[in-house]
Structure 1
Amino acid sequence: MKYEAKSPLAADIGDYLKVFACTAVMLQIILVEALQTHPSPSAQIGIGIFYDLTKFTAPAFIAGILYTTTRIAVDSNLTYRTYLIQMWHALFIPTIAWTTIYLLVMPWVQQVHRYHDLQTFAWQFINGNAAPHLWYNSMMLQFIILMPAFWWLARWCGQNRFRGILVLITVSLIQIAWLAFYDRQVFHGPHMQDWYLLDRLFISFLMYGVLGVLAWQYRHITTRFLHKWHWVILIIAGASFVWINWELLSYSLPIQVINAPYYKPSMTVYDLSIIFLIAAFAATQLTNRPQIAQTIHFMANYAYPAFLSNVFWNQLLWLTFGRALTTNKPLIGIILVYLGTWVLSFASAIMIHWVWKQIRRMIFVRSKNNQ
C-alpha cells in the first residue's frame, strides 16, 4: 500500500480520522442526555458501553488534523501568516459564530457555570464551557497556533528513523508522566474541581498530534506496519475496550461519564488502537477504493463545522421529541436523534459554506464592476 499524494485536493488518512471522529462524537452527547432520563440499570450499562466505544474522537481528530496539515504544508512554501489567515476563515470564524449562538440562543447548554455579566460571558466564550463539546475547540486551536513547531519537528525528523524513534520515545514518556500526574491530582484527586480546565490543555493530546506528524513523515513504514499488524491491533483494541468498560462499570450506578476520561492508560491504549485501525482501513481504501476516498475527503472538509453545529441541532431534536421518546424507548430515541443530528449537522455545514461562497462571489463581482 503506497500513498504519495501531496495535493491539498487529495484524500488522505487524516480525512478518515476526522470523519470517523466527527461521526462518533455526535453520539457521545446524545448518550449523556439519555443517561439523564434515568433509564434502567441494564440500559445504563448499555449506554455506558457505547459511550466508551466512541471515546476516541478527540485524539483521532487531532491526529487527523496534524497528519493532513503536515502532508500539505511541510514541504510547501506555505507561510505561518498565510496558514493563520486560512485557519481564521476555516476554523476561528465558525468557532466564534457558533460559540456566540450557544451563549445567546441556548445558554442552558453551558457547562460548569453560567455567565452573569460581561466578564463571565467572555470567560465562558474562551474556556470552552459555552457548550458541552466546545472544550475541544479550546484545545484544538492551541495546536493550530503552535503548528510551526510541528512543521519544524517534521522537517527535523525528515526520513531519519533514529530521530523518529527518539521523538516517539520522548513524547511517550511525556504522555506517561502526564497521565500519572492527572490521575493523582485531578481525576478523583484533590484538584478535581479547580483544575478541571487541564483537560483542554494541548499537552493532554500532544502524543496524538506528534503521532499524526510521524505517520506522514514515515508513511511507507506506517502503511507497512498497518498492513502487517492490523489483526494484532484489532485484538489490542478489543482487549482495551474490555479494560475501559471494566473500569467504568466498577463504579456504582448510576453510570457517570466523568469516570471515562481520556486521561487514563487504558483509554490511551484504546484510543491509539482505534486510530491505527481507522488508519489501516483508510490506507486500504485509498489504494483500492479511490472514489469512496474522495467522498470521505469531501465530508472531511465539512467535519469541523458539522461538529460545531451538532449540539444546536441535537437540542432542537432532543427538546421537540427526543427526550420524551428516549425516556420511553431509549434505543429508538437515541438512534433517531443521532441520525437526525448527523444529517442536519453536515447538511447545514454544506449549505452555510455554499451560501458564504455565493456571497463572497457577489462581493468580488460587484467590487470588480466598480473598478
Structure 2
Amino acid sequence: MKNKAPADWGDYLKVFACTAVMLQPILNLVITNQPTGVQFNLGMLYDLVKYTAPAFIWGILYTTMRKHDQSWQAWPYYRQQWHQLGVPTIWWTLTYLLIMPKLQQHEHYHSVKSFLWQAINGNAAPHLWYNTMMLQFIILMPLFWWIHHWLHAQKQRGWIVTIITTVIYGTWIYFYDVNVLNGPHQHSWYLLDHIFISFIIYGIGGILAWNFFDKVLPWLQQYWLLIIFAWLITWSWTNQQLFSRGFPVNLSRAAYYQPSMTFYSLLVIILVGIIWQSQRSWQTWSSIMHWLANYAYRAYLANVFWQQLLWRYSGIASFRYSHPYITITALWIGTWLLAFGTAAMLHTSWSWTKEKLRRS
C-alpha cells in the first residue's frame, strides 16, 4: 500500500457510502416476490443504507476544501478530476450500454442520438444517475471554493450560509414533494433528482464541516448517545413512510428528497464523523481507510457490473427464496471485493502502462 496518508472525515464517508451503496441494488433484486415479513426486513435494511449519495457529496466537498484550503487553481483540479472520475465514468458507461443494455433506466437507446442521451443523463445503469449529478458539483467547484474562502471560519458567516442553504433546500424539497414524489410529474420530471440542487445541503455541509469541524465535532462527540437515539428515531420515521405506501414494498419510494431522509442522512454523516474523530490516532487503520477512499468512486462505478455477473452466473440467485439473507450477504461481500479489486487493478495497470510509455 503506497499511500500512507491518514484518512480524513471525507475518506471515511466515501468508504462508508461506497460499501453501503453496493447493498442497495442487491436488495432490489432479492426483495421481489418475497413473503411480507422478508419484505419488511429488507425494506428496513434499505432505509438503513439510504444515506450514500449525501455522504459521498459531503465527503468530496470536505476533502476538496481541505486540500485547497488556502489557494485554488481550476485547471490542475479539473485535470485531476478528469483522470480520476471522468475517464472511468466514460469507460464504465460504455460497458453498461454495450454489454448490459438491459440495465438502462426509463427508456432504451435506438439511435446514436438516444445512445448519447442515455450516456449523458445517467440512465445507462441504475446507479449512474449519480455521475450526472456529481459532474455538476465538479464543474461548480470554484463557486464552492469561493464560499469556503468567504467563510474564512468565521462563525457569523457560517450561520448566514447555513440559514440560506436550509431555506433554499427546504423550498426545493417542498417543490419536489408536491410536484414529483407525491405529485403529477413523478415519471415525466424524474431528471430533477439528477440536478445538483437536490443535494446542495450536503455540499455546503461539507464546506462548513471543514471550516468548523474542530469546534463542532468534539462538542457533538460528547452527545454521541443522544445522536444515536435521534438516528434510530429518524430511521423509524423513514421505515414508517416506506411501509405506509403498502405492500409489496417498492424500494424506489424511499427517496432522498423528503425531510425524514434529509435528517437521517445528516445524522449518519455526523456519526461517521464521530467514528473518524475517535479513530484518528489509529495510524494503520487510518491509512487503510485513506487507501480505500482513493478507489471508492471507481469501485462504485464497477459494483453493479459485478453484482449482475454474480447474480446471473454464480448460482447464488437460486437461494434467494430459501436463504434470502445468506444470498444478500454473499452477494454483497463478493461485489465489494470484486469492485474494489477491479478499481485498484485497473488503476495500477494504467499507471504502470503510462510509466512504461513515458520511459520509452
TM bucket by the smaller chain?
over 0.9
Q: Deviations over 1:106-162 (max 9, x none)?
A: 001111111111111000001011000001111111101100011000010002100
User: What is the deviation of 1:174?
Assistant: 1.1
Q: CA contact under 8 A between 2:6 and 2:283: conserved in structure 1?
A: no
User: What is the deviation of 1:324?
Assistant: 1.7
Looking at structure 1, the residues matched to 244 and 153 of structure 2 have their Cα atoms a distance apart, in angstroms, of 45
The match for 1:17 is 13
Alignment of 1:296 with 2:292, yes or no, is: no
Alignment of 1:71 with 2:72, yes or no, is: no
Alignment of 1:57 with 2:48, yes or no, is: no
Alignment of 1:258 with 2:252, yes or no, is: yes
Give the 5 Å matches for 1:1-371.
9-36=5-32, 38-76=33-71, 78-286=72-280, 288-320=281-313, 321-366=315-360
Q: CA contact under 8 A between 1:226 and 1:279: conserved in structure 2?
A: no
Looking at structure 1, the residues matched to 276 and 5 of structure 2 have their Cα atoms a distance apart, in angstroms, of 16
The match for 1:3 is none
Q: CA contact under 8 A between 2:317 and 2:327: conserved in structure 1?
A: yes
- The amino acid of 1:93's aligned partner reads V
Q: CA contact under 8 A between 1:8 and 1:72: conserved in structure 2?
A: no
TM-score when scaled to structure 2?
0.97
User: What is the deviation of 1:8?
Assistant: 11
Looking at structure 2, the residues matched to 8 and 285 of structure 1 have their Cα atoms a distance apart, in angstroms, of 15
User: What is the deviation of 1:179?
Assistant: 0.9
- The amino acid of 2:130's aligned partner reads Y
CA RMSD of aligned residues (A): 1.3
User: What is the deviation of 1:221?
Assistant: 1.4
User: What is the deviation of 1:226?
Assistant: 2.5
User: What is the deviation of 1:200?
Assistant: 1.2
Looking at structure 1, the residues matched to 5 and 60 of structure 2 have their Cα atoms a distance apart, in angstroms, of 15
Displaced runs of 4+ in structure 1, greater than 4 A? Answer: none
Looking at structure 2, the residues matched to 176 and 161 of structure 1 have their Cα atoms a distance apart, in angstroms, of 22
Gaps of 5+ in 1: 1-6, 367-371
User: What is the deviation of 1:64?
Assistant: 0.3
Looking at structure 1, the residues matched to 185 and 8 of structure 2 have their Cα atoms a distance apart, in angstroms, of 40
Instruction: Give the number of aligned pairs.
Output: 357
Deviates more, 1:229-238 or 1:305-314: 229-238
User: What is the deviation of 1:343?
Assistant: 0.4
TM-score when scaled to structure 1?
0.94
Looking at structure 1, the residues matched to 356 and 235 of structure 2 have their Cα atoms a distance apart, in angstroms, of 51
Q: Deviations over 1:196-220 (max 9, x none)?
A: 1111100000000100011001122
- The amino acid of 1:234's aligned partner reads I
Q: Deviations over 1:14-35 (max 9, x none)?
A: 0000000000000001000112
Looking at structure 2, the residues matched to 226 and 349 of structure 1 have their Cα atoms a distance apart, in angstroms, of 35
Looking at structure 2, the residues matched to 47 and 55 of structure 1 have their Cα atoms a distance apart, in angstroms, of 12
CA pair 8-199 structure 1, distance change in 2 beyond 3 A? farther
CA pair 313-325 structure 1, distance change in 2 beyond 3 A? same
Looking at structure 1, the residues matched to 138 and 150 of structure 2 have their Cα atoms a distance apart, in angstroms, of 19
CA pair 8-338 structure 1, distance change in 2 beyond 3 A? closer
Gaps of 5+ in 2: none
Identity %: 45
SS of the residue 1:164 aligns to: helix
Q: CA contact under 8 A between 2:4 and 2:287: conserved in structure 1?
A: no
